[in-house]
Structure 1
Amino acid sequence: MKSVYFDSAATTQVREEVIHDMMEVLQKNYGNPSSTHAFGRSSKTIVESARKTIAKYLNALPQEIIFTSGGTEADNMILRCAVRDAGVKTIITSPIEHHAVLHTVEELEKEYGIQGKMVKLQACGSPDLEDLERLLQADDSKKLVSLMHVNNEVGNILDIKKVAELCKENNTLFHSDTVQSVGHFEWDVQDVPIDFMTAAAHKFHGPKGIGFAFIRKNSGLKPLIFGGSQERGFRAGTEGVHNIKGLETAFKLAYDHLEEERAYVQSIKDYFKEEIKSEIPEVKFNGNCGDSVKSTYTLINVCLPMTPEKAVTLQFQMDLKGIACSKGSACQSGSSKGSHVLEHILSDEDLLKPSLRFSFSKYNTREDVDYVVEVLKEVVNS
Structure 2
Amino acid sequence: ADATNGYFRLGYSANSIAMGGASTATAQDAMAGASNPALALNIDTNFTAAVSLFAPDRGFTVEGGGPAAPPEFGLQQQDTSSDSHYFVIPSFGYNRIIDEDFAINVNVYANGGMNTDYSESVFYAGETGVDLSQMFISTSFAYKVAETTHIGIAPIIAGQRFKARGLNSFAGFSQDPTKLSDNQYDYSFGYGARFGVWHGLNENWSFGASYQTETKFQEFEKYEGLFAENGAFNIPETYNLGLEFKRSNYTVAFDYQRINYSDIQSVGNPMLPALAPGSLGTDGGPGFGWQDMNVYELGFAIDGASDNTYRFGVSYGEQPIPSSEVLFNILAPGVQEWHFTAGYEFGVNDVDYAFALMYSPSKSVKGRNPLLGSQEQTIELEMSQIELTFGANF
What TM bracket, shorter-length normalisation?
under 0.3
| Structure (1/2) with the larger helix percentage | 1
Higher RCO by CA contacts (8 Å cutoff, separation 6 or greater):
1
| Structure (1/2) with the larger strand percentage | 2
Instruction: Give the TM-score of the pair, scaled to structure 1.
Output: 0.26
Instruction: Give the TM-score of the pair, scaled to structure 2.
Output: 0.25
